[in-house]
Chain A
Amino acid sequence: MGGLGIFFAVFLSIADRKLAVKENPLIEEALSIIPGINCGACGLPSCHVFAERVVKGDVPVNLCMAGGKEVAEKLSKLLGIDTPDTEKVLAVVLCKGGTNESVQNARYIGEKTCEAANIGGGGKACIYGCLGYGDCVKACPFDAIDINDNSIPVVFYDTCVGCGKCVEACPRNIIEIHPDDQKLFVYCKNKDKGAVARKICKVACVACTLCTKDCEVEGGIEIIDNLATVNYSKCKESEAATKRCPTKCIYNDIEKNNTSKNFYVSRGKKEAV
């Protein structure tokens, strides 16, 4: 038995030397740079596959969402190529109608996930708004989103890398990915007529067109299907457009200032936006 053990040990160590597959050493190095959490945001099966393909040059270095700009720079230095422009992107939750603001028609007692609730419509009167069961929280690989006491998701902007997992998970398409420098958002997705929308949610867009008139950029905000919609390619920020909103559903950069994860955890859920 002992002899057999020694024989196989020697055999295996020789086989290991002889049959070793030569891997590009760059892959190993690339792997050490990228976060290695297999989040899947790049669309590839794993971080190892990403490392292989980035070394081959199949995919751009800035594809790794989790790593962001820093990793892109390191990778391009490693591979000796120019760093492409990497834009920081973040997830934005475009609904503010939590339990305090919106009307509940009925109590939903089924399976407590957004996807399941959305089949029957859930209990919320607004059929466009956030259901608040936290499918986005479960989907986030970075713990960068949580449901606050008002049943609305809060994104921690110091942790979010804009991977887009929450966007996929949200059955009502409320979460969107936008560049960091986009400040102006309409935090509503309700396409009902103004009178209907106002009855069911205090912070719904009633399509009064005031913001479209106040916005400095011509055509920066448009009313599409009873909903003020920011034309993101034209208008990045506008303080004026937010001033006269009767339901206060349009904001210019309010969230990003005060929803860091530390802020949220230290102040408790109630105090967060």
Chain B
Amino acid sequence: MNLKTFKHGIHPTYNKEFTSGKGIENCPVPKKVIIPLQQHIGRPCKPLVKKGDEVTEGQKIGDVEAFVSTPVHASITGKVTDIAPYPYPLGGMVQSIVIQRSEDISDKTSNDFNNKENSKLDISSLTSEDIRLAVHSAGIVGLGGAAFPTHVKLSPPENKEIDAIIINGCECEPYLTADDRLMVEHSEKILYGALAIMKAVNAGKIYIGIEANKKDALSLIKEKSAHFKEIQVVALQVKYPQGAEKMLIKAVLNRDVPLGGLPMDAGVVVQNVGTAFAAYNALQNKKPLTQRVVTVTGPGITEPKNLMVRIGTPFSDVIDVCGGIKEGNKKVIMGGPMMGIAQSRLDVPVIKGTSGILVLMESDTIRDFYKPCIRCAGCVDACPMKLIPYRLSDFGRFHMTEEFKEYGGMGCIECGCCSFTCPSNRPLVHWIRIGKLRLREAEKKSA
């Protein structure tokens, strides 16, 4: 088989066997959910409910009049008990709405997100405006992890023509299997969701990029999409970060996104399979995004699982469903091990961008002191954005913002390939992040 890919990148140990064979289970309805008013990139929402209000599942509880923003919805039926800043998995505190579950609802409520029966979606009657509106009001964001509002991606400026949609089924992060299971269990829904997304931007072609290690998903999606002439399934080489937007576009279409540009500059819109699934639910069942698939995995979890979790469920509840954390655990990460964010507490909620909860043991996280750079250029060979990480990291660390900008530091996607490769254990991405922060501050000051 002829597998496509991009240049550079790395091959970490994938460790997907923990959960790759396990079907998506419904997570019991939690007693309490904490719904942050900002789960997306853009303007935070304003609460639409007051303390003491009764809310029903799927009710809109936060919204704001801004283009780059999406509403948030109640994920359980119950009573609003608090509106205050709560800890947030991406760090810091965010204004959140706490909902206490009504007593008459059992914790085993049926879950229509996870029903397996296939129902076709008739997209011919929908206009692109309808689709955009439905996606926006359902609060859908990019579910791969970055949580960029989907309707913004579906509204390209007039002068930019979109000719292709890429549905991202790579899931190149080690350990995670959420997208893989979604493709195996809900393949038809994903295809219809993708067709709707294509219609919204008037593109003519859909490419579904799947890494070759997901054989079940690959063959199933191929089989199901055989009678859609506009869909083409592309098998991709197993490599990290194959699922990063820019790398995926390069691999599938051999197009380059300009530095600092968006995929739409290359005439492409990239959407995660989870997003396509959510779009299907929004259009077919008129369901807002209140649940998502989360892979709970890692050597520190007693019983790793793929779960359909309600947004706002505290991490501790999700981990309890999976039998709790083993003794000697060391680190809890939201997302995958490469780009995920280490958590300092377990009362943070699952948000729209939570693709996984990973618990690592002491032995997995051993990290030596970093040593001097030996100029081996391993990081340069690994960087998929073709930057020079060892220079950039020093510019970031020593606050040399002008040089940092000159060397294209803002193009860094923080994939972690450079730190992974470095034989001297240097925390290169960490320093580059400092540089990016500094540069952004400096630009804000001068503006």
Contacts and interface: CB of A to CB of B under 8 A. Distances in A.
A227 to B, nearest CB: 14
Contacts of A109: 365, 367
B432 to A, nearest CB: 11
Contact of A119 (B343, B365, B430): B430
Contacts of A122: 344
A102 to B, nearest CB: 13
A110 B430 contact: yes
B434 interface: yes
Contact of B427 (A106, A110, A125): A110
A27 interface: no
Contact of A106 (B92, B345, B370): B345
Interface residues of B, number: 19
B437 interface: yes
A127 B85 CA distance: 12
A105 interface: yes
Nearest to B433: A119
B397 to A, nearest CB: 8
A265 interface: no
Interface in B412-431: 427, 430-431
Given A106-B344, A109-B367, A127 B93 contact: yes
Which residue among A109, A121, A122 has the maximum number of chain B CB atoms within 10 Å of its CB? Answer: A121
B84 interface: yes
A115 interface: yes
Nearest to B347: A105
Which residue among B343, B431, B433, B434 has the maximum number of chain A CB atoms within 10 Å of its CB? Answer: B434
A45 to B, nearest CB: 15
Interface in B111-161: none
Given A121-B91, A127-B93, A115 B345 contact: no
Contact of A120 (B85, B341, B365, B370): B341
A193 B434 CA distance: 30
Given A106-B344, A109-B365, A121 B431 contact: no
B68 interface: no
B77 to A, nearest CB: 27
A111 B427 contact: yes
A116 interface: yes
A102 B437 CA distance: 27
Interface in B332-389: 341-345, 365, 367, 370
B89 to A, nearest CB: 10
Interface string A98-142: 000000011001110001100111110101000000000000000
A120 B370 CA distance: 19
Contact of B430 (A111, A125, A193): A111
A105 B92 contact: no
Which residue among B85, B367, B430 has the maximum number of chain A CB atoms within 10 Å of its CB? Answer: B430
Task: Say what secondary structure dominates the interface of chain B.
Answer: mixed
Interface string B314-338: 0000000000000000000000000
B345 A119 contact: no
A115 B437 CA distance: 10
B84 A193 contact: yes
- The range of chain A's interface size is 10 to 19
A116 B92 CA distance: 15
Contacts of B92: 121, 127
Contacts of B437: 119
A105 B91 CA distance: 13
Interface in A245-270: none
Nearest to B92: A127
A192 B92 CA distance: 11
Given A119-B437, A127-B92, A127-B93, A111 B431 contact: yes
A159 to B, nearest CB: 25
B306 to A, nearest CB: 26
Contacts of A116: 427, 430-431, 434
Nearest to A122: B344
Given A111-B431, A121-B91, A105 B344 contact: yes
Contacts of A110: 427, 430
A123 B84 CA distance: 22
A260 to B, nearest CB: 32
A106 to B, nearest CB: 4
A111 B367 CA distance: 11
A120 B345 CA distance: 12
A151 B98 CA distance: 35
Interface string A186-200: 000000110000000
Contacts of B427: 110-111, 116
Nearest to A106: B344
Contacts of B344: 105-106, 121-123, 125
A105 B345 CA distance: 6
Nearest to A169: B399
Contacts of B433: 119
Contacts of B91: 119-121
Interface of A: 105-106, 109-111, 115-116, 119-123, 125, 127, 192-193
Interface of B: 84-85, 91-93, 341-345, 365, 367, 370, 427, 430-431, 433-434, 437
Given A120-B342, A125-B345, A192-B85, 10 more contacts: A105-B344, A105-B345, A106-B343, A111-B427, A115-B434, A116-B427, A116-B431, A119-B437, A121-B91, A123-B344
16 contacts: A105-B345, A109-B365, A109-B367, A110-B427, A111-B427, A111-B430, A111-B431, A116-B434, A119-B91, A119-B430, A119-B433, A120-B342, A121-B344, A122-B344, A125-B344, A192-B85
Closest 9 CB pairs of A and B: A106-B344, A105-B344, A121-B91, A105-B345, A111-B427, A111-B430, A116-B430, A119-B433, A115-B434
